[in-house]
Structure formats: C-alpha cells, structure tokens
Amino acid sequence: MAVFVRAVETGSFSAAGAALGMSSQLVGKHVAALEQHLRLQLITRTTRRHHLTEAGAAYFERVKIILAEVEASEGMAALSRGTARGRLRIAAPVSFGVHALARHLPDYLAAHPEVTVDLALSNRTVDLIEEGIDLAFRVGALSDSGLIARSLAPYRLRLCAAPAYLANHPPITHPQELQAHECLGFSHSDLRRRWSFDGPEGMVSVAVSGRLMVDSGEALLVAARAGLGLLLQPCELVRDDLARGRLVEVLPDWPIPVRPFHLLHAPDRRMTPKLRSFIDFALSVFGPGAEPSTNRA
C-alpha cells in the first residue's frame, strides 16, 4: 500500500522507485501484487504515464488514511520510548534549503539516527495537509491558515551586483536610481517588480524592471555574476560571492526590510519525538536567539 501511494503521489513508477530506493520494475510488481490481491485494476498504464482508475482513486484516498494511522501508531510507540524515529517530510524554499538547511541537516541526522528526512525544495506555497508534509519553512506574512507557526530569525535580503556591472553603469546612491538599471526579477514573490528600502527618510518603495525574470534564485545569481544586472536575494545565497568579491553590496546604508520567517506544522500533527526533535533543532539553529553567523544575518 505504501508503494502504491508513493507511485500515485510522484506520478510514475520510476519517480516512486527513486524516492523509495528501489527499481521502477519492483514498484510495478508491488502495485501488480496489490491489484491481484484486491482483484481490482487500480492504475491504467501507458508507456509514459499512468492514471488512477475510479476504483484506484477511491482506494488511494482510503489507503492514505490507513497509512497515516499506522504512522501515528508507530509514533505513539516511539513517544512511550522517548525515541525520535520514522520519516519526516519537510518543505523549504530552494535557496534556504540548499544554502542553509542542508548545511545543518547532517548534525540533526547524526543526533537522531532512527529518523529519515524527505526534504522537498520549492519556492511555491505548499499545502501541508494535501501534500502530507510534516513541517514547512515559510517566508513572509502568514495567512489565517490554522497552521501552528514557530517564529524563526527574520529572513534577510541583500542587494548586490558584479563589479563589472557597476563599473559600466551610473552610480547608485539612492533607491530611486534603480529605475534606470537592469534589476533581475524573482518571479516567486513581490520582488518581481517592486523593491523596498528603509533609509533616513523612511520607507522607500521602488518600481524596478529588467529583461530577465526567473523563478530560481540560483539562476539569478549566475546572471548577476555575469554582469547582467542587480540582484536582490537572501543572504545565504550571496554570502560567499560577496566574501570573494564576485559581487559587491549596493546601497549598504539603505537596509532592506526583513521578512517574517516561520516553521509550520498542522495542528492535528501529534507531537511525536521526531516532530519535537526537529522543531527543537530548527529553533536552535534558525530561531530568533541563534547566533548571527548561523541564522543568515
């Protein structure tokens, strides 16, 4: 049942096999054995894709509940032992996940050898309930979603550009001058077309434009290194380039307003040892009281 659910969630036998550490052929054998046991066809298969049958869709919804109850039962057993064990499904923004969270996950896993982590990196807003996510890191103001939120250190951004770009374009001494410059757009937030700064005269919001709009901070970083324009991205993404001189900070006397940053989980998630262990870890590394070198300041 677990293999069948993962095949449906990932959309293919090969993707399910990669997630489960088995071959796509073995995934297919598990599903075929389940269909034989039930005497029902759950999935219609083509060479490239598969689709749930009507019976398969109904069975999928029921099986998800059964597997969740199995996991909860195992969690209660772990709770009685006080041992963190089982699989944690975590979602995080791409730049934070690659350049901050992944650096510290080995320490967490070493401290909790019976826990496995399934980390999904995406800049979209994930639905924890629908997608079966245990915990999610989220940047920005929270909607009234009913999720339980733990405050982390504010998310900080930096404005920078390659020395070659700055040498070949007019100097920038005030945010309004950005309107005459190529500004690299990040399509997954309000940074697409407007950047804000906090200076001596108060908050200044500037409409920016540029010829490149990307949904990946890493791709924008490559473009900025090549001198294509100005980059406004998280500190953890640009830290090394600033330290090595590949990028130069722009308007350092005009701080960029920090953004709220939270760790979320569903209110109906039982506070099992694995959940509590990761929340404690995240608060110690990325929480409001973490060391500046650790919390991306």
For the stretch 245-286, pLDDT in tens is 999 999 999 999 999 999 999 886 567 889 999 999 999 999
Class of domain 1-81: mainly alpha
Q: Which of 13, 12, 10 lies closest to 25 in space, CA to CA? A: 13
Q: What is the sign, positive or negative, of the torsion defined by CA atoms of 147, 89, 120, 116?
A: positive
Asked whether the predicted pLDDT for residue 30 surpasses 70, the reply is yes
Question: What is the per-residue pLDDT for 153?
Answer: 93
Bridge partners (DSSP) listed for residue 145: none
pLDDT tens figures, 111-163: 999 999 999 998 888 888 778 889 999 998 887 667 889 999 999 999 999 99
- Distance, in Å, from the CA atom of 143 to the CA atom of 202, rounded to the nearest integer, reads 27
85-97 CB burial, b ≥16 within 10 A, e <16: bbebbbbbbbbbb
Q: Which of 264, 283, 270 lies closest to 148 in space, CA to CA? A: 264
Q: Which of 254, 258, 234, 236 lies closest to 154 in space, CA to CA? A: 258
Neighbours of 286 (CB within 10 A): 22
Record: fold of 157-249: D-Maltodextrin-Binding Protein; domain 2 (3.40.190)
Q: Tell me whether domains 87-154+259-297 and 157-249 share a fold.
A: yes
Instruction: Please state which CATH number belongs to domain 87-154+259-297.
Output: 3.40.190.10
Q: What is the DSSP string of 4-70?
A: HHHHHHHSSHHHHHHHHTS-HHHHHHHHHHHHHHHTS--EEE-SS-EEE-HHHHHHHHHHHHHHHHH
pLDDT tens figures, 47-86: 566 788 888 888 988 888 888 777 766 666 655 557 888 8
CB-based contact 205:254 (threshold 8 Å): no
pTM (predicted TM-score)? 0.70
CB-based contact 116:88 (threshold 8 Å): yes
- Work out the percent of the chain whose per-residue pLDDT is above 90: 56
Residue 178 CB-density burial (10 A; 0-12 exposed, 13-18 middle, 19+ buried): buried
Neighbours of 141 (CB within 10 A): 8
Domain ranges of the chain: 1-81, 87-154+259-297, 157-249
Of the ranges 50-54, 169-173, 233-237, which one carries the lowest mean pLDDT score?
50-54
